[in-house]
Amino acid sequence: MLQTTKRPDSPVSIIGAGIAGAWQALLFAQAGHAVTLHERGDAEMTDATSHWAGGMLAPYCEAEVSEPIISRLGLRSLDIWRRELPDTPFNGSLVVAHPRERHDFERFARMTAGHRRLDAAGLAELEPSLEGRFRDALFFPTEGHVEPRRVLPKLHERIKAAGGTIKFDSDVTAGDLDGIVIDCRGLSARDEQPELRGVKGEMILIETAEVQLARPVRLIHPRWPLYVIPREDNLFMLGATSIEAEDTGVSVRSALELLGAAYAVHPAFGEARIVEFGSGLRPAFPDNLPRIGIRGENIAVNGLYRHGFLIAPALAELTLAYVERGQIDNEVMQCA
């Protein structure tokens, strides 16, 4: 087994309070470590990619476009979400398609597991607002979703309740800190990990009381998986594009596609009020896979790409197992 220089009794500093850092801080604090979580922004977290995310916990749907490691980490994470935040909605998710995307819909069904097929009546029973809209659907009953802008503060509260300290407006580098340092800076870690890139994701928030949904609905689309996610207070998030660019803002073309997808799911979305346009940069390595990099007491957790909410709990569990027991996960960890 690889020799490490870890000292389980060392203080643990985590840099970055996005979804990766928040889960690291929570599991380490609960395990009895002296945890300090540093975040350079304020508690609103608007600089974090996590602020812009859809928050879908969808290991089965994501298998269509991802490596098996994402499903493994995702399925483990669902258990941890359930254990730590039992009020997380696990209402499943739906995939629908218009007749012209029939072949892609069937391909999606073949590429994924964990679903059952609903006919139009079954879909209407599950989501009355979608009655008469689609002739069938795929239902993934065990998937969940969280609202990032509500769940991040909740996780931060849980960290404090577990004895951890959170310092906002605290812009630090690993060299400033003693003990074990876990770098969860997302795209800002490019000074240490130059192979990271940002993959732009655009989203739109709309509001209407005319449509009620209990779970995310994905619409098969030739270019991107487009989805509508219900939020509290009659809000719906429309997401998300995936563009190899690092500018901010939302293009007219993307806006048309996102709004068109919502309208295709239900025409009443045409009357909804637009609340917000926004975009975030997903931190990704060239292979789009997450990585836990280990260099002595410096650990870097990054490359969560389009799966941060889905896989952050399992990555934190693996990091903790390494620090406490020297356990190495060869698929995710890279040791210098």
- Catalog residues that contact ligand FAD under the rule CB under 6 A: 15-21, 38-41, 45, 47-50, 52-56, 170-172, 184-186, 188, 201, 203, 239-240, 280, 282-283, 304-310
Encode burial over 240-254: b for 16+ CB neighbours within 10 A, e otherwise. bbbbeeeeeebbeeb
- By beta-carbon proximity to ligand FAD, the closer residue of 137 and 229 is 229
Per this entry, what is the length of the chain? 336
- By beta-carbon proximity to ligand FAD, the closer residue of 106 and 169 is 169
From 255, 242, 228, 223, select the one nearest 305 (Cα to Cα).
242
- By beta-carbon proximity to ligand FAD, the closer residue of 119 and 247 is 247
- By beta-carbon proximity to ligand FAD, the closer residue of 56 and 264 is 56
| Min CB(229)–ligand FAD separation in Å | 7
| Min CB(39)–ligand FAD separation in Å | 5
- By beta-carbon proximity to ligand FAD, the closer residue of 136 and 331 is 331
- Residue 252 makes CB contacts below 8 A (sequence gap 6+) with none
| Min CB(162)–ligand FAD separation in Å | 19
CA distance 246 to 248: 7
Backbone region of residue 249 per phi and psi (left: phi > 0; alpha: psi in -120 to 50; beta: other values)? left
| Min CB(144)–ligand FAD separation in Å | 10
CA distance 113 to 141: 11
| Min CB(119)–ligand FAD separation in Å | 27
| Min CB(303)–ligand FAD separation in Å | 8
- By beta-carbon proximity to ligand FAD, the closer residue of 36 and 322 is 36
Residue 277 pairs in a beta bridge with 204
- By beta-carbon proximity to ligand FAD, the closer residue of 72 and 124 is 72
| Min CB(262)–ligand FAD separation in Å | 15
| Min CB(189)–ligand FAD separation in Å | 7
CA distance 273 to 223: 26
DSSP string, 41-99: S-TT-TTSGGGG---EE-HHHHTTTS-HHHHHHHHHHHHHHHHH-TTS----EEEE--G
Let me know: does 45 contact 39? Beta carbons within 8 Å.
Answer: yes
- Residue 164 makes CB contacts below 8 A (sequence gap 6+) with 25, 26, 28, 29, 35, 36, 37
| DSSP classification of residue 328 | -
* Axis crossing angle, helix 19-30 with helix 308-325, rounded to the nearest 10: 40
- By beta-carbon proximity to ligand FAD, the closer residue of 11 and 122 is 11
Residue nearest to ligand FAD (CB): 18
